[in-house]
Amino acid sequence: MGKDLKISRRTLLAATGGALINIGLPGVFTRLSKAEQSGPAAGERADGRPRLPPGQVAVQRIEYMGGKPGTATVANWSMRVHGEVEKPTIFSFQDLLSLAQVDITCDIHCVTGWSLLDSQWSGVCLETILERVRPRENGAFVIFQAAAGYTSNVPMAVAKQKDSILAHSFYGERLPKELGAPVRVVIPDLYFYKSAKWLEAIKVASEDEPGYWERRGYSNSADPWKEQRYSGDR
């Protein structure tokens, strides 16, 4: 990936007064006050890690982050699950709703430097989907295939974590189009480019297949607490 693109996404500039931040992508984000930043945002998770990973700023809401939305609606959305599975399956939106539903409250972290604390999502655990299709023993990776050719990738163990979900709702309302409707991936413990919007298919693979941003120089592991933003970050 070109050096200029890396620099533009790395930029995190505080505006006068400390209320707004420019993260190098579309939109201006309202961040939490200094008191809020030093309150809950300064706390620890159950695993002992800080709620705010290094280099992150807590914001009040998600803004539109760009990308090319798909054309699917709730009425015609479908998701193909294929690859190294015993039972390839196509799920409709109604199929998704017929499965066990979960509500999660989690902190999410964008590689550009913002974090949204206590975000609320509803949907279906990825593990529930995987149980339906029965990955083969060599199915070690999960590849998310989304609109306009976007992909992201995670190890099977990450996909099976209890808070890795396919989300159809955000704060109790159906996802808006700009945030990935009808269905998006939510994987809270990795930088949010792993959480593909406008999901169309899931591939179970025996070998890793780096996704859209990973092929352009971003970290394949994307651990916010290790600041693994770029491919050389350890």
In a domain? residue 207: yes
Average pLDDT value over all residues in the chain: 86
Domain assignment present for 206: yes
Asked if the structure places residue 101 within a domain, the reply is yes
Q: CA 219 to CA 227: how far, in whole Å?
A: 9
| Residue 230 DSSP code | B
Global pTM value: 0.85
190 lies in some domain = yes
Residues 6+ apart with CB under 8 A from 233: 219, 226, 227
How far is it, in rounded angstroms, from Cα 89 to Cα 181? 20
Q: Could you tell me the CATH number of the domain that includes residue 48?
A: 3.90.420.10
Say if residue 59's pLDDT is above 60: yes
Q: Would 72 be classed as within a structural domain?
A: yes
The verdict on residue 233 lying in a domain is no
User: DSSP 3-state assignment of 189?
Assistant: coil
Q: What is the pLDDT of residue 40?
A: 64
- Over residues 98-130, the pLDDT tens digits come to 999 999 999 999 999 999 999 999 999 999 999
How many separate domains does the chain show?
1
Task: Express each pLDDT in 73-104 by its tens digit.
Answer: 999 999 999 999 999 999 999 999 999 999 99
Q: How far is CA 211 from CA 34, 139, 152, 205, in A?
A: 36, 17, 4, 13
Is residue 231 assigned to a domain?
Answer: no
| Cα 12 to Cα 21: distance, rounded to the nearest angstrom | 7
Over residues 26-56, the pLDDT tens digits come to: 344 555 555 565 566 668 888 999 999 999 9
Q: Which residues constitute the domain of residue 153?
A: 3-226
Residue 79 lies in a domain: yes
